Amino acid sequence: MPVFNFTLNKKKTSLEAEGDTPLLWALRDELDLVGTKFGCGVGQCGACTVHINGTATRSCLTPLSAIDGMEITTIEGLSEDGTHPVQEAWAELDVPQCGYCQAGQIMTASAFLKENPNPSGEEIREAMHGNICRCASYNRIEKAVALAAT
């Protein structure tokens, strides 16, 4: 089997696996990073969102063969102590209900705010619309993204 080398949450990482293994399952099953969630497996829900070279990306659709040499950040690596401004805003506004989609929401929001640190409400809704929340906590999500931007 091939060996893939990448940076994962700032650490050099090697993994021997089939190249078509989705990054989501490599993270969860091989690398013990279970904060990244499986929702749909077909790129529709956003629960599996991680950053690849800083861009919010669906790990369920990303094969290991596509990430060799790249920099991956998961929810576990977003900040050292859970104090990324998006995480703080999430806690302050008590965003999660069941919580299942929240890692993906936070990873999408944090990548978005890096690109657009001062977004309008419409821009926030547009950026977040691909992340599904079955509890429909969309109003709190939008408010938390706006709070993190301030």
Of the pair 37, 140, the CB lying nearest ligand FES is at 37
- Could you list the residues that contact ligand FES (CB under 6 A)? 38-41, 43-48, 58, 60
Would you state the structure tokens that stand for residue 110, as one six-digit string? 């944090």
Q: How far is the CB of 40 from ligand FES (least distance, A)?
A: 4
Beta-sheet strands, E only, within 31-90: 49-52, 55-58, 71-73
Residue nearest to ligand FES (CB): 60
First-to-last alpha carbon distance for the chain, in angstroms, is: 47
Shortest reach from residue 83's CB to ligand FES, in Å: 26
Cβ-based neighbours of 3, under 8 Å, separated by 6 or more: 14, 15, 16
Please, which residue, 47 or 89, has the CB nearer to ligand FES? 47
Q: Which is nearer to ligand FES, 5 or 44 (CB)?
A: 44
Is 67 in contact with 17 (CB distance < 8 Å)?
A: no
What's 3's DSSP letter?
Answer: E
Tokens linked to 132: 């599904």
**51/58 with CB nearer ligand FES:** 58
* CB-CB contact of 57 with 51 (8 Å): yes
Closest distance between ligand FES and the C-beta of residue 63, in Å?
Answer: 13
Bridge partners for 71 per DSSP: 7
Q: How far is the CB of 133 from ligand FES (least distance, A)?
A: 12
Cβ 45 to ligand FES shortest distance, Å: 3
- Nearer Cβ to ligand FES, position 46 or 93? 46
